[in-house]
């Protein structure tokens, strides 16, 4: 069963002192699927994402990437196959855009400079920032930085892309450019887990929407099902609030 | 013979003393750098076990808490019972260990001022801790470290003159020899010596300042 799943998360729990943040989360992604995780603050959705690539170590449960279990022993190799896009972009501030996208190709995957540069140019073109290759992160807008960070993740040829509230730190007029890139990625068949408040993206690009609250998955289903006729009262309440505030 | 003839005759000795001081300075700074960086990295990114962390804290406190002269005496007179050590060697060790304690603090502060997200992003892309430190953190920490390190450099230049007390024939001791042999004009000789230290200090500071500007990243105010 787990062989057909690119990402297989089983019963992951996480607690901080007395606070149980994740109370047993199970989810699976097939190749090419895009799943969007929504929910109120404190629901554990960001913690879940960080547990998937062990940025936060889960207390219990197993996570399989393409059939192989993620453990401390193979964590670097596993992470090299999972792209992660942070809310705060986290571009390497001492490197220009070109080097930002190149460095892990060269230092982690061992690519030579020529191949890495070529790949970098491809990914920068994909996110619409080819002409910014020589710029430094501090010289870019938030939306541009986030697109570079997506290019950086893509250049590693990831098997799955994880997005942790990618537009939450952006001014409203800059979210569009990032959401468009993400929608195109989903349409191109990238396997993605996206934690976001961007409902437009969820409706348009998600294969499944997962609603989390208080460390549980309350409900999950296709966008149509969730938005028009969610079963759970809490889900409906949450989605109504989001709809009202646009 | 007046003082100026004396100075002219003895200036080569002063320069020789300066040379010794500079070699001492270079050695102690390199020793301090390597040890200081190693201590800093273990404290920040190494094993959390208290058997490793507590000795490092103790080391730092001891070497920053004892007067330099006492340290020099301990390493020279204290150690000469145990092994054959020259005064120069003792000076390098004493000042080197002390500098490593100060430099480890400088580096720790520098690494801690790099935003935590940088390490997270590097690890999230598959870099090991060591690779992340080397390629991502160290270049950024270096920029934060230069300012305080320049202060340390200035301090150490002046502190090499203390090696005088265990007999190292560096600049200060050479000056002392000249004064005892000419019996007078103390002020003039020491003024020249002070000028030499000052020049080395200024030259070093300028070089470090130029280095800092070279490393500056476009777009960053600081």
pLDDT in tens, B145-156: 999 999 999 999
Calpha distance A185→A165 (Å, rounded): 16
Confidence of residue B192 (pLDDT cuts 50, 70, 90): confident
How far separated are the first and last CA of chain B, in Å rounded? 55
pLDDT of residue A2: 46
pLDDT at residue B73 above 50? Answer: yes
Query: In this complex, is the C-beta atom of B140 within 8 Å of any C-beta atom belonging to chain A?
Result: yes
pLDDT tens digits along A23-50:
999 999 999 999 999 998 888 999 999 9
Residue with tokens 């953190």: B137
pLDDT at B1: 58
B121, A92: Cβ pair inside 8 Å?
A: yes
Put simply, the answer to whether A86 touches B121 (Cβ < 8 Å) is yes
- Rounded alpha-carbon distances, angstroms, from residue B220 to A94, A138, A140: 9, 6, 12
Q: Which CATH architecture has domain B3-215?
A: Orthogonal Bundle (1.10)
Does the beta-carbon distance from A93 to B118 stay under 8 Å? Answer: yes
Task: Quote the CA–CA distance of A53 and B127 in Å, as a whole number.
Answer: 13
Query: Given A86, A93, A152, which is nearest B217 (Cβ)?
Result: A93
B177 pLDDT tier (thresholds 50, 70, 90): confident
Contact across the interface for B122 and A91, Cβ inside 8 Å: no
Q: Which residues of A touch B220 (CB under 8 A)?
A: 93, 136, 138
How confident is the model at residue B133, as a pLDDT? 95
Residues B27-37, mean pLDDT to the nearest whole number = 97
**Chain segment A177-210, per-residue pLDDT in tens:** 999 999 999 999 999 999 998 888 998 999 999 9
- Nearest Cα to Cα of residue B129 among B41, B64, B60: B41
Q: Taking the domains of chain B in order of start, what are their residue ranges?
A: 3-215
Query: What's residue B176's pLDDT?
Result: 86
Residue B11 reports pLDDT greater than 80: yes
Q: Return d(Cα B56, Cα B64) in angstroms, integer.
A: 12
CA angle (B129, B135, B140) in 5-degree steps: 105
- The ipTM of this complex is 0.91
Locate tokens 């270079």: which residue? B26
Q: Which of B135, B140, B220 sits opposite A107 (nearest CB)?
A: B135
**Does the pLDDT at position B182 exceed 80?**
no
B196 part of contact set with chain A, CB < 8 Å: no
Token pair recorded at residue A238: 């949450």
Residues of A in contact with B218 (CB under 8 A): 136, 138-139
Residues 60..119 of B with a Cβ closer than 8 Å to A: which?
115, 117-118
Task: List, for residues A120-152, the tens digit of each pLDDT value.
Answer: 999 999 999 999 999 999 999 999 999 999 999
Instruction: For chain A, list residues whose CB is within 8 angstroms of any CB belonging to chain B.
Output: 53, 55, 76-84, 86, 88, 90-94, 103-104, 107-109, 136-139, 149, 152-153, 156
Query: B139–A139: do the CB atoms touch at under 8 Å?
Result: no
Q: Are A104 and B219 in contact (CB < 8 Å)? A: no
Distance of CA A10 to the CA centre of its chain: 18
Of A168-177, A199-208, A209-218, A234-243, the poorest mean pLDDT is in A234-243
pLDDT higher at B3 or B140: B140
Pick the range with the lowest mean pLDDT from A2-6, A178-182, B68-72, B110-114: A2-6
Inspect the interface and report whether the beta carbons of A84 and B118 lie closer than 8 Å: no
Three-state SS at B5: helix
**Nearest Cα to Cα of residue B167 among B62, B81, B69:** B69
Residues of chain A positioned with their CB less than 8 A from the CB of B123? 55, 79
How far apart are alpha carbons B59 and A201 in whole angstroms?
Answer: 56
The whole-angstrom distance between A1's CA and the closest CA on chain B is 27
- Using the 8-state DSSP alphabet, how is residue B61 labeled? H
Please indicate whether, in this complex, the C-beta atoms of B219 and A136 are within 8 angstroms of each other: yes
pTM: 0.86
| Cβ contact A90–B121 (<8 Å) | yes
**CA distances for B150 relative to B33, B40, B66, angstroms:** 13, 18, 22
Q: How far is CA B125 from the centre of its chain?
A: 37
Asked if residue B87 has pLDDT above 60, the reply is yes
- pLDDT score of A110 more than 90: yes
Neighbours of B217 (CB within 10 A): 17
Q: Check the CA dihedral B54-B60-B66-B70 and report its sign.
A: positive
- Cβ distance of A94 and B126 shorter than 8 Å: no
**Mean pLDDT along residues B61-80:** 91
* B26 and chain A in contact, CB less than 8 A: no
DSSP label at A92? -
What is the rounded average pLDDT for all residues in chain A? 92
Q: Is the pLDDT of residue B127 over 90?
A: yes
What's the average model confidence in pLDDT over B188-204?
A: 91
């Amino acid at each position: 069963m787990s062989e057909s799943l690119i990402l297989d998360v089983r019963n992951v729990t996480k607690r901080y002192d007395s606070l149980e943040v994740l109370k047993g989360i199970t989810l699976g992604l097939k190749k090419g699927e895009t799943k969007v995780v929504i929910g109120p603050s404190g629901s554990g959705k960001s913690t879940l994402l960080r547990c998937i690539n062990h940025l936060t170590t889960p207390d219990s449960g197993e996570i399989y990437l393409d059939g192989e279990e993620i453990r401390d022993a193979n964590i670097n190799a596993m992470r090299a196959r999972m792209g992660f896009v942070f809310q705060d972009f986290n571009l390497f501030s001492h490197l220009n855009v070109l080097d930002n996208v190149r460095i892990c190709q060269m230092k982690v995957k061992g690519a030579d400079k020529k191949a890495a540069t070529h790949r970098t140019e491809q990914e920068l073109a994909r996110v619409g920032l080819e002409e910014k290759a020589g710029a430094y992160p501090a010289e870019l807008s938030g939306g541009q930085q986030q697109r570079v960070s997506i290019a950086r993740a893509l250049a590693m040829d990831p098997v799955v892309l994880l997005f942790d509230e990618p537009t939450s730190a952006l001014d409203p007029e800059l979210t569009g450019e990032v959401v468009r890139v993400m929608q195109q990625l989903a349409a191109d068949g990238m396997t993605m887990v996206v934690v976001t408040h961007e409902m437009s993206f969820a409706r348009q690009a998600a294969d499944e929407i997962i609603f989390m609250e208080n460390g549980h998955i309350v409900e999950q289903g296709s966008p149509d099902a969730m938005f028009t006729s969610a079963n759970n009262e809490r889900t409906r309440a949450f989605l109504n609030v989001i709809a009202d505030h646009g | 013979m007046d003082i100026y003839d004396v100075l002219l005759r003895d200036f080569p000795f002063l320069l020789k003393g300066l040379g010794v001081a500079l070699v001492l300075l270079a050695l102690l700074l390199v020793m301090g750098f390597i040890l200081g960086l190693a201590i800093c990295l273990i404290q920040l990114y190494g094993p959390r076990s208290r058997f490793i962390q507590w000795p490092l804290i103790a080391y730092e406190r001891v070497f920053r808490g004892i007067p330099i002269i006492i340290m020099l005496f301990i390493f020279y007179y204290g150690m000469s019972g145990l092994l054959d050590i020259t005064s120069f060697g003792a000076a390098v060790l004493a000042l080197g260990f002390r500098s490593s304690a100060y430099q480890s603090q400088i580096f720790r502060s520098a690494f801690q001022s790099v935003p935590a997200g940088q390490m997270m992003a590097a690890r999230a892309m598959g870099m090991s801790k060591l690779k992340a430190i080397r390629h991502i953190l160290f270049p950024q920490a270096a920029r934060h470290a230069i300012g305080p390190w320049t202060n340390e450099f200035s301090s150490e230049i002046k502190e090499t003159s203390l090696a005088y007390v265990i007999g190292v024939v560096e600049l200060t001791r050479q000056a002392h020899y000249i004064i005892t042999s000419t019996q007078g004009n103390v002020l003039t000789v020491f003024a020249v010596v002070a000028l030499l230290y000052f020049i080395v200090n200024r030259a070093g500071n300028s070089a470090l300042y130029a280095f800092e500007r070279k490393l500056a990243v476009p777009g960053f105010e600081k």
